[in-house]
Amino acid sequence: MTTAPLPPVPPTPPTVSDSAATVSPEASPAASHAPSPAVPSRRLAVVADQTPCRPVPAGCNSSSPSADVPGEASRARKTAATKAGADIRGEVLLTLAQLRLATPRQLKALLLPHQQDTDHVRRALRNLLDESPALVGRTHRVQQSYWYCTPAGLTEAAASGELAPKAGRTTGKRIAASKTGLREHGLALVDTVVAFHQAEVADCADWQVEVAHPTPAGNLVPDGVVLLNNGSCAFVEIDRTMSYARLVAKLERYDAYRNAPPSGRGNAARAPRSHWQETYAGPSLDRSFLPVLFVFAPAPRRAAPATREAAFHQRAQHVHGVNYRIIVATTTLGQLTKHGPDEPVWRVAGRGEGEERRSLDALPKAR
């Protein structure tokens, strides 16, 4: 089915002891963000909270106070570039661990948006691949390579402490997924992450991929959960090939999650709370249920995303808005990447909104 040739066998998953050899106890302390001068340069530097896209305008030669002296300016630029390159290695690993897989271009867009080409990212990927055991793996497809995090890389990333607790469980299944048709789904998700990142609506580090949420009807596993810069969260679903019936069924699963009875006991000071309230509503329960954002991405032999989006709204109209108490908004990946999530690209399902589109901030609140 897939026209891509089978990729070479990925690096043999390392044993735990192998990974432990890479992540020595003194190498792991991610808690200290400032790298100690005593740390050997060979060690992987995981510097996750270095702002990947600093608000420095591209081509900012005039902003540097020493830019007037050609030699000094060039040296300063060089030093800065070197530092960024050293840090980018850890960020690449963390990003791959978090997002499952990505292309060099996607990684560049997330981590080095001011860079013109993907050389730095590919250099970092090459270094991570050369580690023993390899921390990342690669599969090839036409004019593109896809990189993923190996178990050893995930161990390294997790040891840094910068990885969200449930993010990036790169099991063998996930690695296999990165080499099949599912990789297109994963790449569409990363494109979505890039769009949110570039619009400064959410940082790429604020995404969690495929986190299980318990519902009475079984686990709900959104493609992504994003913490937005305004402090709220949203579920994100990528659709490429799912049938409309399954999409509507997914809505029902979200509704079940929303209406799940409180788990655990409350006490005199605090009423019992359901899972979503415990996880997302904040201490004072002042936040409404998270909006569910559907992104329709292109897929071969399928109707165009806009067509599928329109059909989805027709189906959802009959059930959504009447019975459900969740906000569902849709867009296409094309619109998202072209305009950004902060522009009026979201169409609210159900509620008789017609085809009007709203920005993310203007979405109605769930009841």
Partner DNA sequence: CCTCAGTCAGAAGTCATCAA
Partner DNA sequence: TTGATGACTTCTGACTGAGG
- Which residues make up the interface to DNA (CB under 7 A)? 37, 41-42, 75, 78-79, 81-82, 84-86, 88-89, 103-105, 117-120, 122-127, 138, 140, 142-145
- 3-state DSSP call for residue 169? coil
Rounded to a whole number of angstroms, the minimum distance from the CB of residue 98 to DNA is 19
Which of 69, 35, 29 is CA-nearest to residue 50? 35
Q: Residue 183 and residue 181: Cα distance in Å, rounded? A: 5
Q: Residue 12 and residue 260: Cα distance in Å, rounded? A: 42
Whose Cβ is closer to DNA: residue 45's or residue 209's?
Answer: 45
Contact status, residue 332 vs residue 240, Cβ threshold 8 Å: no
In the beta sheet, which residues pair with residue 149? Answer: 136
Rounded to a whole number of angstroms, the minimum distance from the CB of residue 297 to DNA is 17
The 10 Å Cβ neighbour count of residue 356 is 10
Whose Cβ is closer to DNA: residue 88's or residue 260's?
Answer: 88
Rounded to a whole number of angstroms, the minimum distance from the CB of residue 20 to DNA is 19
Q: What order of strands is seen across the sheet that includes strand 144-149? A: 101-102, 144-149, 136-141
Whose Cβ is closer to DNA: residue 118's or residue 317's?
Answer: 118
Which of 69, 53, 49 is CA-nearest to residue 61? 69
Contact status, residue 166 vs residue 221, Cβ threshold 8 Å: no
Rounded to a whole number of angstroms, the minimum distance from the CB of residue 42 to DNA is 4
Whose Cβ is closer to DNA: residue 58's or residue 245's?
Answer: 58
Rounded to a whole number of angstroms, the minimum distance from the CB of residue 189 to DNA is 17
Rounded to a whole number of angstroms, the minimum distance from the CB of residue 146 to DNA is 8
- 3-state DSSP call for residue 295? strand
Whose Cβ is closer to DNA: residue 50's or residue 145's?
Answer: 145
Whose Cβ is closer to DNA: residue 26's or residue 361's?
Answer: 26
State phi, psi for 257 to the nearest 5 degrees.
-65, -40
Contact status, residue 321 vs residue 350, Cβ threshold 8 Å: yes
Rounded to a whole number of angstroms, the minimum distance from the CB of residue 62 to DNA is 18
Whose Cβ is closer to DNA: residue 46's or residue 220's?
Answer: 46
Contact status, residue 142 vs residue 133, Cβ threshold 8 Å: no
